[in-house]
Chains A and B, each alone.
Chain A
Amino acid sequence: MSNEAITNKASELKADAKSGAMAEKLYQLGVLLSLLLLCAVMSVLSSRFLSFDNLMNVASQAAVSAIVSIGMFLAILTAGIDLSVGSVLALSTMMMGIASDHWGLNPYICILVCLGTGALLGLANGLLLTKLHLPHPFISTLGMQKMARGIALFVTAAAPISMFPDEIQFLGNNSVGQVPVSFILVGILYAAMYLFLTRTSTGRYIYAVGGNKEAARLSGIKVNSILNLVYVISGFTAALAGLVLAGRVNAVYPLAGLDYETDAIAAVIIGGASFFGGVGSIGNTIIGVLLIAVLRNGLNLLNVDSAFQTFAIGAVIVVAVAVDVLRQNVMKSGR
């Protein structure tokens, strides 16, 4: 190849890489703009939207969803999914309620029961995938969704438990000045997850497993351990979200977290992660979470029928995944 050809080739490659990175940036900018546009439209349509109370309301609802979405993001990053987050949230908090109310345990132990239950259920999801070799986490976590919900309903014969000690309510109900503790928690969790994913080898291996499982395995990465870890984290964050929710409403109930997986999936995909795995950034997931939260809140404020709300979230997921497929095709057609 002549020198000229090499220079041409290099500039072609550079253009390719640039256009790929550009497309990603544009997409993220687009999502951010959609969020702002949605906020603008809502503030025009409803005078209450921009009120301090309402914005705090949106944000505290988003906080719970944001924590659930961390686990969902990891699962989707490995080309998997976790459909059990909502039920895991319910069962973990019910176990905490029983530990506190029926057994009278120390509140900190109760919190550990909650988080431990979530992590264990997540581990079960992971082992179903890696040891029993169920074909796709869709199956294992769908099974877990039903099993955990069933147990959550069974343990108190479907009765809720309320009135918790302050320690348990702390994350969901307290503020530092004007800032709710749950917001600070979300900030810490997202920052920690960002560092974990970009600055530790384990975090990078999660991307590797999602990008090409077989290549990762042959490169000496313990793929099964990585997958187990991902589902443990997902169970843990679902339980942690449950703890925040329980604190906020000062009650636990077996139907808590219903349909949370749908919102989390929507948030993660809107945030630019790909169902094909290996692509996405945790920072953008929060934008997806806010978009969904604003959408739900806005529809509520406008007194839109809840049936249409359900429809709208479904439509958002379909559109987001369709956009994901388009983006992946654009990236593939590079060569």
Chain B
Amino acid sequence: MLADGILLKVEGLTKRFPGVVALDGVDLEARAGEVHAICGENGAGKSTLIKMLTGAYTPDSGTINFEGQIYHGLTPRKAMGVGIACIYQELNLIPHLSVAENIFLGREIYLAEKINVLDRKQMREKAAELLADLGLAISPTARVGTLGVGHQQMIEICRAMWSNAKLIIMDEPTSSLSEKEADDLFRVMAQMKARGVTILFISHRLDEVRANCDRVTVMRDGKTVARVDMKDSSIDEIIQLMVGRNIQNKYPKQRAAHGDVVLKVNKLNRKGVLHDVSFELRAGEVLGFAGLVGAGRTETARAITGADPYDSGNIEVFGKPVTIRTPLDSINAGIAFLTENRKEQGLILIQSVAFNATIVNMHKYGTNGWLSLKRVRDTAQKICAEMRLKTSGMEMPVGKLSGGNQQKVVIAKWLLSKSRIFIFDEPTRGIDVGAKVEVYKLINQLVADGAGVIIICSEMEEVLGMADRILVMHEGEITGEMSREDATQEKIMYAASGFRQAS
């Protein structure tokens, strides 16, 4: 152990990739039993730093001092061996196996190790013990695939605990959790901290960092710019350190004049998923959908846009009833759906920026069936310039862009679709502070031009910051409606927990 209870001390870590310095002399220091945040915009070098600690990358220079032992580079096996575990955004669990089997995967308890016979009973008991220690009501025999994301993450934590990890790295652990699940996670983190486990916490959600971390290391452009004590600094200061400039307004909300009803949904039903969902959206309005993960908000959007079928209900667009069975029907009706998972559902990562931006109704860019490649490129170039997309060219594969720029390509694609109704599902997930503000400004511009916008947000602050009116869903039903002026976090939580609004 190093002096002053310091568990990990990284000094001068540098990593170059062809044409770019990803990390430039990064320093990091974490004490035993500390929750230490690493903050920075996308591309600041957080992922590269983590990969160095987990042994995925070898540093070009610099040292990693872990428990007084100096390493010039780690391998995944070595990192695991010394007690460094990482919980990635995409969980590494096997859905068909039980909770206990997943926890002990690769580190099983044997009855007779020589002949490879497992002690299933002891593993079940030990798993139950680990789960109970963390205060989790999960059965060790449950199949992991049947659990929610929040619980799955807990299983990963149990795995790390079983492997006697001293340092647990959590990469954006709350990005796919509801607020309640996130609270559970923070409770478990506090328990691990009390046992002397160090947690490196990477998150874009600064309120979480503020509430749960002891210290924070801020990174920018591959360098560490500051290490501050949480109790001596404010969120605004951290944001300033991250972006190197002052972001005055996190939510640059501008109200637009509201016009006619552009979308009217009446008693939309899907068995077991949606129950009598009815609402209206006006031109120039930003309608926010709040609720816990799994409350039926995404499902509502998917049913309206033909991504999923629905059993009954009517949809009217611009006062006319429409039948929407496929995404193409939705596009033809003027409704754009910007899905929450841009990598899985929004983009074709191996294809170019131009291709992705013009994919909706691509036949428009041609005459007599022949595509005009020049028109495709020029159109894409124009919209990307308007959106200030950072790319080396229209032929760049979108998979190589940062999260914020990928999201801009998704928005560009739907702007070009000539839609008048835009449904944004988690529009700012996984993108950095600067890019978020740009997305909000684009939403402002859309409503100023008379489009109707629906935003589905799991961050309550965002929905409060950007929506004119908020609908709250719980288990497939709308349980609350409130105007921007009336809405509070408490009221939303109340409705999101299934209590109907007293009206």
Count residues of A near B (Cβ-Cβ below 8 Å): 43
Q: Mark A1-41, 1 if CB is under 8 A from B, else 0.
A: 11001101111111111011100000000000000000000
User: Which range holds the interface residue count of chain B?
Assistant: 35 or more
**In the assembly, what is the distance between CA of A221 and CA of B348, in Å?**
13
Question: Known contacts being A19-B18, A208-B348, is A218 close to B391, with CB within 8 Å?
Answer: no
**Are the CB atoms of A207 and B351 closer together than 8 Å?**
yes
Interfacial chain A residues near B344, Cβ < 8 Å? 212, 214-215
CA of A19 to CA of B396, assembled, Å: 11
Interchain CB contact under 8 A, B400 and A212: no
List residues of chain A with CB within 8 A of the CB of B62. none
Whether A136 is near chain B, meaning CB under 8 Å from some CB there, is no
| Cβ-defined contact, B243 with A1, below 8 A | yes
Contact B400 A20 (CB under 8 A): yes
Interface pair A220/B43, CB less than 8 Å apart: no
How many whole Å from B384's CB to the nearest CB in chain A? 13
- Would A278 and B350 count as touching, CB distance under 8 A? yes
Q: Within 8 Å of chain B (Cβ to Cβ): is A199? A: yes
- Residues of chain A with a CB closer than 8 A to B55's CB: none
**Cβ contact within 8 Å between B221 and A218:** no
CB-nearest residue of chain B to A335: B400
Measured in the bound complex, the distance between the Cα atoms of B361 and A212 in whole Å is 16
B356-380 contacts to A, CB under 8 A, are 359-363, 365-366, 369-371, 373
A211 near B413 with CB under 8 A, answer no
Q: Kindly state whether residue B267 has any CB partner on chain A within 8 Å.
A: no
What separation, in Å, do the CA atoms of A211 and B326 have in the docked complex? 20
CB-CB contacts of A270-300 with B at 8 A, as 1s and 0s? 0000000011000000000000000000000
Asked whether B41 is an interface residue with its Cβ less than 8 Å from the other chain, the reply is: yes
Alpha-carbon separation in the docked complex, A334 to B349 (Å): 12
Q: Which of A205, A218, A279 has a CB less than 8 Å from the CB of B350?
A: A279
- Residues of chain A within 8 A of B395, CB atoms compared: 17, 21
Give Cα A2–Cα B307 distance, bound, in whole angstroms. 41
Which A residue sits closest to B22, measured CB to CB? A12
* A-B contact list, 24 entries, CB within 8 Å: A1-B243, A9-B390, A12-B19, A12-B20, A17-B392, A17-B397, A17-B400, A198-B373, A200-B366, A200-B369, A204-B362, A205-B362, A208-B348, A208-B351, A208-B359, A211-B350, A215-B346, A215-B347, A216-B359, A219-B327, A219-B413, A220-B326, A222-B326, A331-B350
19 additional A-B residue pairs with CB within 8 Å, beyond A15-B19, A200-B370, A211-B349:
A13-B396, A17-B393, A17-B396, A20-B397, A201-B365, A201-B366, A201-B371, A205-B362, A208-B355, A212-B345, A212-B348, A215-B346, A215-B347, A216-B348, A218-B307, A218-B337, A220-B417, A222-B326, A278-B351
4 interchain residue pairs of minimum CB distance: A15-B19, A211-B348, A14-B392, A12-B20
